[in-house]
Amino acid sequence: MRLYGFWRSLATCRVRVALRMKGLAAEEVPVDLLRGEQFEDAYRSVNPARAVPALVVEDGRPPLFQSLAILEWLEETRPEPALLPPEPLARARVRALALIAAADTHPLHVPRVRRQLAERFGADDAAVHEWGCHFIGEGAASLEGHLARDTQTGRFCHGDAPGMADICLYSLKAGADMFGLDLAPWPTVLRIAAACHALPAFAAAHPLAQPGAPQKPA
């Protein structure tokens, strides 16, 4: 398999974790989002949505795209270890927690949004940084509200084994790390992120642990 990604992409981080949890390896092909390589013709033919990740799983078939769709595909084709619990209501809970991070938080601070803030409103680096911190904080607060009130929360988001929600929560924490945002106001989120980071599949997928990253994670 070939994974088009970028060291700091949180969506790529999610796929990296899931691949490792499932015991799979993929060659990673870097697409430099900060230099705009996703807009070049060569990459447009890989993913017309001009975003990473994209996962080539079979020559001659279009690459998979969108991190959560890739995670679901991994779960359907390599069921062990499970990223989702067996019971439908529990699966809905895990998917919904995952979406808080991957759909309601992460898309609000990606490079194409930061660029629009600068171009349309003259937002400087500090203002863009505060924007990102605001929405990462809102995502953490939403996760905390759900996790802290529910007895289904365990060592991880759902019980005592890591799954799809933990992968997305961990990517939110990785985003906070890159923004220098302390998640201490949301202790359950912080606790679960630490439990994830103690696992090699997570720590090795962290943006700051990738080739090309400016520093090592704390």
Instruction: Tally Cβ neighbours within 10 Å of residue 190.
Output: 18
Give least dist CB 5 to a copy of itself, A: 15
Nearer to a copy of itself, 64 or 205 (CB): 64
Nearer to a copy of itself, 67 or 210 (CB): 67
Nearer to a copy of itself, 187 or 212 (CB): 187
Give least dist CB 185 to a copy of itself, A: 14
Nearer to a copy of itself, 37 or 138 (CB): 138
Nearer to a copy of itself, 86 or 214 (CB): 86
- Give the chain as a 3 state SS string: CEEEECCCCHHHHHHHHHHHHCCCCCEEEECCCCCCHHHCHHHHCCCCCCCCCEEECCCCCCCEECHHHHHHHHHHHCCCCCCCCCCHHHHHHHHHHHHHHHCCCHHHHCHHHHHHHHHHHCCCHHHHHHHHHHHHHHHHHHHHHHHHHCCCECCCCCECCCCHHHHHHHHHHHHHHHHCCCCCCCHHHHHHHHHHHCCHHHHCCCHHHCCCCCCCCC
Give least dist CB 155 to a copy of itself, A: 20
Footprint of a copy of itself (CB under 8 A): 44, 48-51, 57-58, 61-62, 64-66, 68-70, 72-73, 76-77, 88-89, 91-93, 95-96, 98-100, 102-104, 107-108, 112-113, 116-117, 120-123, 127, 130-131, 134-135, 138, 142, 144-146, 149-150
Give least dist CB 61 to a copy of itself, A: 6
Nearer to a copy of itself, 111 or 199 (CB): 111
Rg of the chain taking only CA atoms, in angstroms: 17
Neighbour-count burial for 84-105, b at 16+ CB within 10 Å, e otherwise = bbeeeeebebbbebbebbbeeb
Give least dist CB 89 to a copy of itself, A: 6
Give least dist CB 81 to a copy of itself, A: 18
